[in-house]
Amino acid sequence: MPVDYIPRTRELYNAYSPYRWVENHDTPPWTPLKQPLAESKLALIGSGGVLYRDQPRFHREDASYRRIPRDAVQADLGVWHFGYRTTDAEADHNCVFPLTPLRELAAAGVIGEFADPAYSFMGGVYSARKVREELAPQIADELKRAHVDVFFLVPA
């Protein structure tokens, strides 16, 4: 049976001030590809809280990110996220962090190159300001230094 979440949430929290949704008034800086995807270097960015081997877990208010080697396999990865049930992601990281499909697309020539490393963070549980002012600029700088042409952002 489907649940109508917005009215249900309003009902549960009606004793509190209404939630203030993030409003972005700036036009996103969309940039068309300069060459076909088959000639482009693509990076993976995921907000599902994926971790590589012994990397430290994310914590509340954590605006950091982790570098995940593109050749990491399921046994190398863990998941730590407060915002969703991680059972499926723990069983198969590809549902929130599709390393395997992107490696396959690179091998098939659909994308020119799959950038190494991929990037993981824990999205949705801290301020949009931290994402805009801290997290996004740090990852963007890494992507520029790696000469990445396009990135695939997978929200959790």
Q: Is residue 108 part of a domain?
A: yes
pLDDT of residue 3: 66
Domain membership of residue 2 (yes or no) is no
Please tell me the predicted confidence (pLDDT) of residue 8.
77
Query: Structure pTM?
Result: 0.83
Q: Residue 4 domain-assigned? A: no
**Residue 20 falls within a domain, yes or no?**
no
- The domain total for the chain is 1
Q: What is the pLDDT of residue 61?
A: 81
Residue 58, φ and ψ in degrees, nearest 5: -75, 160
State the pLDDT at residue 62: 87
* pLDDT, position 17: 80
Q: Is 53 left (phi over 0), alpha (psi -120 to 50) or beta?
A: left
Residue 11 belongs to a domain: no
pLDDT for 30: 79
Judge contact between 106 and 113, C-beta under 8 A.
yes
Question: Which one-letter amino acid corresponds to residue 138?
Answer: Q
Which domain does 54 fall in, by range?
34-154
Q: Comparing C-alpha atoms, which of 103, 102, 52 is closest to residue 80?
A: 52
pLDDT at 2: 65
pLDDT (tens, 9 = 90+) of the chain, 156 residues, equals 666 777 877 787 788 887 777 677 778 777 888 999 999 999 999 999 999 999 999 988 888 999 999 999 999 999 999 888 999 999 999 999 999 999 999 999 999 999 999 999 998 767 778 888 899 999 999 999 999 999 999 998
